[in-house]
């Protein structure tokens, strides 16, 4: 390993377990222990997070919601994201980690690295194991039951992979000198930068595990992947990662791109590729709690000529459908007749997480409901001339008579609300006219306080 790799297991990686779904299960007591999908509820929506109960049925992040509906059983909750609730939980966790060390690198809304050496902790394996076990329990207590998994090692690479080995609510401390013993049996797909294309090329060379990769000569890796990527894979296979923690981080853009094995001229194929890239970008934006106003299309022609085209919206978005729509319009002005080698989609002019057009239209399809059991109808009319509100599945609401709750489903001019909270028993479902004057949107509930 490189000389600058640490001698002690002093870098920790904390990754909250299925965070969006876990927050929904915490705030909606009737969903605890049940499959929950958070993401776009529209026809082309994408799964942002699937609860562990939903993953049993094959649901996973970045999967089309329509496919997740086919995988999951009746009674699965399909909810739109609540950015404010996730940010609030994230802030609690990051503040807690800040008490462990002054050097915390927040990577996204649900994960961070901690430099334990910067805080003067005892860095023996036993002491680090005890400390991070306490941190793991403190996260669950402070968030009302949202758990995190933690990996600790001599580098970011080892810590990151370690946090994923024993999910959920797991702790893995890799002792100095044990890095390759732990990493080598794992799939090469665990390494950063090893996507489907790289993994496929390695598979053709009969390289399946990180240990297999460590046996490949540097010259071969450079020949296969180029100087930068080849050298990077060579080092990572040996757990040689000397990256430092970056405390101040401001994302400038979020993007995804693919290089084609054969140049593509077919516009329908390129449109499909844009949809897939936009889904990846939208998922990354939501994971980071960000949205953006400017969509950029990157196109590399057969002769390696590269062009970019951009379009800026008035309002920021993290909606893959809108990102794809804008990117497709940009592609319409690009000559594809000679063949496209690379296609990329990116979002810039970033802002904090916002809800956008994906969830602003009134739901008219009963499929977006969570298949509630029959509930009594309680309707009231909004005063004449008042604009009807739009209701998103999972949205926090408050009724003047029944108190706080969340949108169970809506359609055909009606909205069903389940009246419960994180500290209440499972509550009843009541149905109202969609423009009921006594029903209004509300802030996320306080998971530390009794339901009022």
Has residue 145 been placed in a domain? no
pLDDT, one tens digit per residue, over 317-345 is 888 999 999 999 999 988 888 889 889 99
What's residue 380's pLDDT? 36
Residues 322, 375 within the same domain: no
Residues 346, 367 within the same domain: no
CB 26 within 8 A of CB 144: yes
CA nearest neighbour of 80 among 370, 398, 275, 316: 370
Q: Give CA angle at 105 (102, 106), nearest 5°.
A: 120
Residues 418, 381 within the same domain: yes
Has residue 390 been placed in a domain? yes
CB 384 within 8 A of CB 395: no
Residues 344, 368 within the same domain: no
Has residue 425 been placed in a domain? yes
Q: Write out the two tokens for 336.
A: 């594809």
Has residue 134 been placed in a domain? no
Residues whose CB falls within 8 Å of the CB of residue 151, separated by 6 or more in sequence, listed in order: 12, 13, 15, 158, 159, 160, 161, 162, 163, 164, 165, 171, 172, 173, 174
Single out the residue in 315, 330, 350 at which a domain terminates.
350
Instruction: Give me the residues paired with residue 149 across strands.
Output: 15
Q: Write out the two tokens for 53.
A: 């109960």
pLDDT, one tens digit per residue, over 363-391 is 323 223 333 333 333 333 343 333 345 79
pLDDT at 348 over 70: yes
Average pLDDT, the chain: 86
Single out the residue in 190, 205, 236 at which a domain terminates.
236
Single out the residue in 322, 350, 378 at which a domain terminates.
350
Q: What is the phi/psi pair of residue 274, to 5°?
A: -60, -45
DSSP state of 209: B
Has residue 110 been placed in a domain? no
Residues 343, 271 within the same domain: yes
Has residue 149 been placed in a domain? no
What gap in Å lies between CA 347 and CA 364, rounded to an integer?
30
Q: Write out the two tokens for 37.
A: 């999908």
Residues 228, 262 within the same domain: no
CA nearest neighbour of 451 among 422, 415, 408, 429: 422
pLDDT at 288 over 80: no
Has residue 159 been placed in a domain? no
- Domain range holding 343? 253-350
pLDDT at 249 over 70: no
Residues 385, 435 within the same domain: yes
pLDDT at 162 over 50: yes
Residues 278, 209 within the same domain: no
CA nearest neighbour of 75 among 35, 39, 38: 35
Exposure string (b/e) for 427-445, b if CB count within 10 Å is 16 or more?
A: bebbbbbbbbeebeeeebb
Residues 401, 434 within the same domain: yes
CB 135 within 8 A of CB 127: no
What's residue 53's pLDDT? 97
Instruction: Give me the residues paired with residue 407 across strands.
Output: 417
What's residue 251's pLDDT? 57
pLDDT at 25 over 80: yes
pLDDT at 277 over 90: yes
What's residue 388's pLDDT? 42
- What is the full DSSP assignment across 259-295? EEEEEE--HHHHHHHHHHHHHHHHHHHHHTTEEEEEE
pLDDT at 103 over 60: yes
| CATH number, domain containing residue 219 | 1.10.150.20
Q: How many CB atoms lie within 10 A of CB 315?
A: 11
Give the residue numbers marked as catalytic.
Answer: 111
Average pLDDT value for residue range 185-204: 90
Question: What's the structural domain count of the chain?
Answer: 3
Has residue 54 been placed in a domain? no
Residues 371, 393 within the same domain: yes
Residues 189, 224 within the same domain: yes
Residues 310, 395 within the same domain: no
| CATH number, domain containing residue 278 | 3.30.1490.100
Average pLDDT value for residue range 1-29: 88
């Amino acid at each position: 390993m490189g000389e600058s790799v640490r001698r002690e297991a002093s870098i920790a990686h904390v990754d909250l377990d299925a965070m969006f779904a876990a927050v929904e299960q915490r705030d909606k007591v009737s969903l605890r222990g049940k499959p929950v999908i958070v993401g776009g509820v529209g026809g082309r929506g994408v799964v942002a997070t699937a609860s562990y109960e939903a993953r049993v049925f094959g649901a996973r992040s970045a999967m089309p919601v329509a496919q997740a509906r086919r995988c999951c059983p009746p009674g699965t909750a399909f909810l739109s994201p609540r950015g404010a609730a996730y940010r609030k939980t994230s802030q609690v966790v990051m503040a807690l980690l800040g008490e462990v060390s002054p050097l915390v690198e927040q990577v996204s809304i649900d994960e961070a690295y901690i430099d334990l050496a910067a805080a003067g902790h005892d860095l023996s394996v036993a002491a680090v194991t005890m400390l991070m076990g306490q941190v793991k329990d403190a996260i669950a207590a402070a968030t009302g039951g949202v758990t995190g998994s933690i990996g600790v090692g001599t580098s970011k690479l080892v810590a990151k992979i370690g946090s994923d080995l024993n999910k959920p609510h797991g702790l893995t401390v890799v002792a100095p000198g044990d890095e390759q013993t732990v990493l080598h049996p794992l799939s090469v797909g665990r390494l950063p930068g090893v996507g489907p294309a790289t993994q496929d090329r390695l598979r053709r060379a009969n390289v399946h595990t990180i240990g297999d990769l460590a046996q490949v000569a540097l010259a071969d890796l450079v020949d296969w992947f180029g100087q930068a990527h080849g050298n990077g894979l060579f080092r990572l296979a040996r757990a040689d990662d000397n990256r430092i923690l970056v405390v101040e981080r401001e994302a400038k853009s979020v993007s995804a791109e693919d290089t084609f094995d054969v140049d593509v001229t077919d516009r329908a194929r390129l449109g499909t590729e844009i949809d897939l890239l936009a889904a990846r970008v939208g998922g990354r934006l939501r994971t980071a709690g960000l949205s953006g106003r400017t969509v950029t299309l990157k196109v590399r022609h057969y002769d390696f000529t590269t062009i970019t085209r951009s379009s800026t919206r008035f309002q920021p978005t993290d909606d893959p459908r809108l990102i794809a729509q804008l990117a497709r319009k940009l592609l319409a002005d690009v000559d594809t007749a000679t063949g496209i080698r690379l296609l990329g989609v990116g979002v810039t002019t970033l802002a904090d997480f916002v809800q956008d057009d994906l969830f602003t239209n009134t739901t008219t399809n009963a499929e977006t409901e969570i298949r509630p059991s029959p509930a009594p109808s309680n309707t009231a009319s909004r005063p004449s001339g008042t604009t009807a509100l739009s209701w998103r599945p999972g949205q926090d609401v408050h009724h003047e008579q029944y108190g706080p709750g969340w949108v169970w489903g809506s359609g055909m001019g009606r909205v069903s609300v389940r009246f419960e909270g994180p500290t209440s028993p499972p509550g009843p479902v009541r149905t109202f006219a969609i423009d009921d004057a006594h029903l209004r949107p509300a802030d996320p509930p306080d998971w530390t306080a009794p339901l009022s």
